[in-house]
Amino acid sequence: MLSIIAFVLLAGWLWSARHSRRQLFTTFSLDPHAYRLLGTDLGGRKPLYLRLGVLRGAPDAAFVSKTNKHGVIGEYKSRRYRGFVRWRERYQCLLYMGMFKEQHNLTRVCAVLRFADQCVEIDFDEDMFHRLVGLCPEFQCARKRWRAPNHMPRHKRVA
């Protein structure tokens, strides 16, 4: 009798985990048969930590294609999509995509921003990624001094 109850509980737990895993793929509009989940910090799961020099980060979700070297970064935003992606959201995704591409030796990478009402795909811009990485020394200087050495907005300096 106890073994039957344990079996039912185990089966329920496995079904629940599988269902929530499928839900994660549909959240970012991805086919669960075409992509493999590498890590996520949504739902209390283990995130995938990315690292490149002094840069560190953990995207909300990271997927890789099962057939080719294509990666997808998933970022969840609770706000509604108003027809544009904010600069900081785009820069965050570009940095994640660049680190993901380098760390996993991918040929193509993109990001999917999941807003409250729809998904938006962002393509990787390698030139912009390198310009953002070029700002790292300035960021380290700002952290030490507690003030920005250059007060011009980032989007005007890297654009």
CA terminus-to-terminus distance, the chain: 67
- Taking only Cα atoms into account, the Rg of the chain, rounded to an integer number of angstroms, comes to 19
pLDDT of residue 53: 83
**Average pLDDT for runs of 10 along the chain of length 159:** 52 44 82 90 83 88 92 93 92 94 93 93 93 80 70 67
pLDDT of residue 54: 80
Domain range annotation of the chain: 33-158
CA angle 58, 60, 63 (to 5 degrees): 95
| Closest of 36, 34, 61 to residue 48, by C-alpha | 61
pLDDT of residue 7: 45
- pTM to 2 decimal places: 0.79
- Token readout for 133 is 């990485």
pLDDT of residue 8: 44
Q: Classify domain 33-158 at the CATH topology level.
A: Trna Endonuclease; Chain: A, domain 1 (3.40.1350)
Is residue 62 a contact partner of residue 39, using CB atoms and an 8 Å limit?
Answer: yes
